[in-house]
């Protein structure tokens, strides 16, 4: 008998590399989207490229055709203390090289070439890398559509408004009515790096470059759902060949990406409260709230008498007014814990308001749960998100004083938890929740966009 010939058949029909921006909360929603795509396309392999520190904070892959691939954070050889600004700068400086090395490692591990790179839109240098390797580039914008529109029109905004503090003083309260999606927003609502701030910083430069490169993508994906902002839907449909609002990302998988744990018994505590009577407070993980505001918020909560759960790391807990935690524990009014299963807590019937920094993930989670928001934005797109919540969609309120004051907190909680205006806001956000539920049905817009995205990234 003649010798047989062994034919090597690739294990996967296509290989998609996914790379998030490894700071803040960019990675979790992108992992949720990737998991949903991998579940839809079992014959394709998905490599999730991120720094070791970011990967360590994520749940392990829940599908067989998804694997984690570590890449450099740019800190090798760096000595001495750093901060997040320095770390972002170092990561960006080495990001193109790190991505190329990560792609090579992913190809070796999976046994097939990468045909598409789905990157966080922040990492627009992926456009150059994919072009050189003959692959498709699909950026994912994990923030809100209004903030993205602002970045896409940075040059126009600077031409009309100017730049710097003087330009902001002159134009700050005027609407940006010459930009699609922003006619109801003020110049003062725009994120840093467009008009004010260090316009030459690595971060600002990265976002400016992103705006010029995004139109070269095969598709763009947003963590939103069709109909939340019809003006944005119309603009992005015209701007991009393929526009996919496929969110909320955190609901694309039946298990989600939140660990199913509740180490501080938040949910049993909520079980003892009436519907829509509890305030949930979480102000993000990046910005440290000023001590004076921390005290004002704590005192406002105590004075209001409202029941509350406050997610606050242990280091910051030590800065609370003396005796505050002992008092609320004794009275049972509140619960201050270092970690909260946020999606589960927001979904509990007892929660009636979310006191939030208005990061886009939190906005999506609040809408999906049908919970109004008390807005305290700090930086970036949080300002434009807060404006949308309080003045456009009107399912939340902004603080009169902009920052937390004791009386401002008391007034806001009174409105949101007890007043007729608060009930109207709950009705409005529940209508948006209904839209989310429809978008996520098998024939809904987000599911349809997810399937169309799969066809592009997997080459089906």
75: exposed, middle or buried (Cβ count in 10 Å: 0-12, 13-18, 19+):
middle
Residues labelled as active-site residues: 26, 120
Report whether 296 contacts 355 (CB < 8 A): no
| C-alpha distances in Å from residue 99, one per residue of 34, 163, 205, 279, 459 | 17, 33, 19, 42, 21
Report whether 406 contacts 303 (CB < 8 A): yes
Question: Which bin fits 215, alpha (ψ -120 to 50), beta or left (φ > 0)?
Answer: alpha
Rounded Cα distance, 189 and 183, in Å: 12
- 48: tokens are 């999730």
Rounded Cα distance, 345 and 331, in Å: 21
Please state whether beta strands 243-245 and 220-222 pair in parallel, antiparallel, or not at all (unpaired): parallel
Report whether 405 contacts 290 (CB < 8 A): no
- 52: tokens are 């070791």
Which run of H or E residues covers position 220?
A: strand 220-222
Q: Provide DSSP, 34-86.
A: HHHHHHH-TTEEEEEEEEHHHHHTSPPPSSTTEEEEEE--S-TT--S---HHH
**CA nearest 16: which of 46, 48, 61?**
46
């Amino acid at each position: 008998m003649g010798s047989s010939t062994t034919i090597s058949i690739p294990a996967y029909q296509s290989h998609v590399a996914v790379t998030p921006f490894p700071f803040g909360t960019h990675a979790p929603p992108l992992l949720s989207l990737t998991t949903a795509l991998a579940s839809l396309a079992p014959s394709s392999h998905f490599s999730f490229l991120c720094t070791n520190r970011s990967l360590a904070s994520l749940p392990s892959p829940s599908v067989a055709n998804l694997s984690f691939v570590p890449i450099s954070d740019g800190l090798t050889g760096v000595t001495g203390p750093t901060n997040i600004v320095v770390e972002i700068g170092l990561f960006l400086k080495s990001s193109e090289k790190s991505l190329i090395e990560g792609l090579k490692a992913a190809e070796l591990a999976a046994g097939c070439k990468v045909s598409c790179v789905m990157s966080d839109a922040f990492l627009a240098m992926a456009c150059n890398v994919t072009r050189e390797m003959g692959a498709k580039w699909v950026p994912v914008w994990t923030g809100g559509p209004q903030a993205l529109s602002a970045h896409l029109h940075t040059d126009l905004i600077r031409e009309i408004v100017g730049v710097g503090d003087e330009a902001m003083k002159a134009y700050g309260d005027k609407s940006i009515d010459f930009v699609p999606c922003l006619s109801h927003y003020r110049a003062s609502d725009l994120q840093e790096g467009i008009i004010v701030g260090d316009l030459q910083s690595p971060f600002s430069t990265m976002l400016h470059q992103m705006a010029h490169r995004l139109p070269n993508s095969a598709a763009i994906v947003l963590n939103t759902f069709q109909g939340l902002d019809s003006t944005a839907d119309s603009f992005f449909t015209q701007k991009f060949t393929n526009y996919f609002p496929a969110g909320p990302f955190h609901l694309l998988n039946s298990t989600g990406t939140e660990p199913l744990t509740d180490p501080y018994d938040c949910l049993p505590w909520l079980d003892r409260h009436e519907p829509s009577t509890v305030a949930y407070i979480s102000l993000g993980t990046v910005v440290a709230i000023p001590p004076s505001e921390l005290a004002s918020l704590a005192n406002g909560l105590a004075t209001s008498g409202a029941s509350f759960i406050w997610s606050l790391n242990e280091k910051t807990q030590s800065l609370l007014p003396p005796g505050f935690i002992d008092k609320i524990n004794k009275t049972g009014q509140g619960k201050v814990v270092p970690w909260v299963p946020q999606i589960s807590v927001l979904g509990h019937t007892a929660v009636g308001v979310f006191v939030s920094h208005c990061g886009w993930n939190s906005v999506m989670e609040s809408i999906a749960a049908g919970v109004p928001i008390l807005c305290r934005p700090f930086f970036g797109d949080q300002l434009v998100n807060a404006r949308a919540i309080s003045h456009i969609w009107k399912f939340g309120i902004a603080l009169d004083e902009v920052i937390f004051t004791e009386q401002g907190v008391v007034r806001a909680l009174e409105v949101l938890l007890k007043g007729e205006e608060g009930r109207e806001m709950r009705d409005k956000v529940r209508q948006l929740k209904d839209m989310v539920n429809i978008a996520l049905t098998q024939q809904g817009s987000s599911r349809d966009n997810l399937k169309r995205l799969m066809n592009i990234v997997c080459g089906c």
